[in-house]
Amino acid sequence: MEFNESFILGCSAIGAGLAVIAGIGPGVGQGIAAGHAAAAVGRNPGAKSAITSTMLLGQAVAETTGLYGLLIAILLLFVKPLLW
């Protein structure tokens, strides 16, 4: 069966949209990290700077899975591997 270019590009766009659903996970994870960091600062305000840097480190690591989804979306949209 022969598919034309527009059909493949449209399906790539749908796939890109589905791929960035991966952003849900990091959102939840970063929210949990920020919430616990806020609670920790409330309990021990003296350790605020250490808690903040730990929180940012953890959030940036948690962000990775979402970025993988974003990367797939970017590849589908700009590199168009399905047209090769």
Partner 1 sequence: MEHGILLSASSDIDVMVHGVFKYSFFGHEVWITTTHVCLMIVMIILISFSIVAGSVMRKGTEVPGGFQNVVELIVEKLDGMVDMTIGKNAAKYYNYIGTVFIFILFSNISGLLGLRPPTADYGVTFPLGVLTFILIHYNQFKYQKPKDIWKDMCSPLPPWLPVWLPINVISEIAVPISLSLRLFANILSGTIMMTLVYGLLGWIAAIWPAALHVYFDLFSGAIQTYVFCMLTMTYINNAIGETE
Which stretches of the chain bind partner 1, using CB under 8 A?
5-6, 9, 13, 53, 56-57, 60-61, 63-64, 67-68, 70-71, 74, 77-78
When the beta carbons of 17 and 35 are compared against partner 1, the nearer one is 17
First-to-last C-alpha distance (Å) of the chain? 16
DSSP 68-80: HHHHHHHIIIII-
What φ, ψ does residue 59 adopt, rounded to 5°? -65, -40
When the beta carbons of 44 and 52 are compared against partner 1, the nearer one is 52
When the beta carbons of 41 and 58 are compared against partner 1, the nearer one is 58
Q: How far is the CB of 80 from partner 1 (least distance, A)?
A: 8
Is residue 25 within 8 A of residue 65, CB to CB? The reply is: yes
